[in-house]
A and B are shown apart, each in its own frame.
Chain A
């Protein structure tokens, strides 16, 4: 099992819809969770951080974390064509027998929002 897995996509939604992006992770002790947006040919850009169970909202973006289910998601409300990008999930994963962790990234989900 890979450390961080995302639904492979691609995901296509109409403008104005809610886009739902999902991510699961392997380390039950993970404490830090991030969503990055990456436009084609560009570098990843941090858009959300979440550390506690529940929802965290920032504008049209909502991150949801469920540590018991080892699941983190990103909802994009009122999706716009400018949201079309690849979304990367990143989770801190501890090394075997270690309390220290580092970030592991999922392979990303490509989102297309059509007008």
Chain B
């Protein structure tokens, strides 16, 4: 998985609780992304980062926040989890030379269930 780990790999949480997912890379890549994947919707971008402390919204960012304090770590926080946020979450990375539209490599994913 191109030197990308995600934690936890599985999580069950209750509605209304905050949840933080972690993505860690050992490739020293500039760009990092959080996607969610749902049946019928495919992969949708939640947030992305183009450097330490530099982040921006994707197409489905409501209810999510991110932080990147180190090159290697990108955190996704569900501020108050809802059942609609039950999904599989993938982190991805890409090298700085390729920009936002270059080759992306994905982590193993986190399966989140909100009850």
Contact = CB atoms under 8 A, between A and B. Distances in A.
A44 B43 CA distance: 10
Interface string A97-113: 00011110111100000
Contact of B106 (A32, A44, A106): A44
Given A43-B90, A88-B43, A107-B42, A34 B103 contact: yes
Contacts of B42: 88, 105-108
A109 to B, nearest CB: 11
Contact of B90 (A44, A90, A92, A101): A44
A107 B104 CA distance: 17
Interface string A37-70: 0000011111001000000000000000000000
- Range of interface residues on chain B? 20 to 34
B67 to A, nearest CB: 20
A42 B100 CA distance: 23
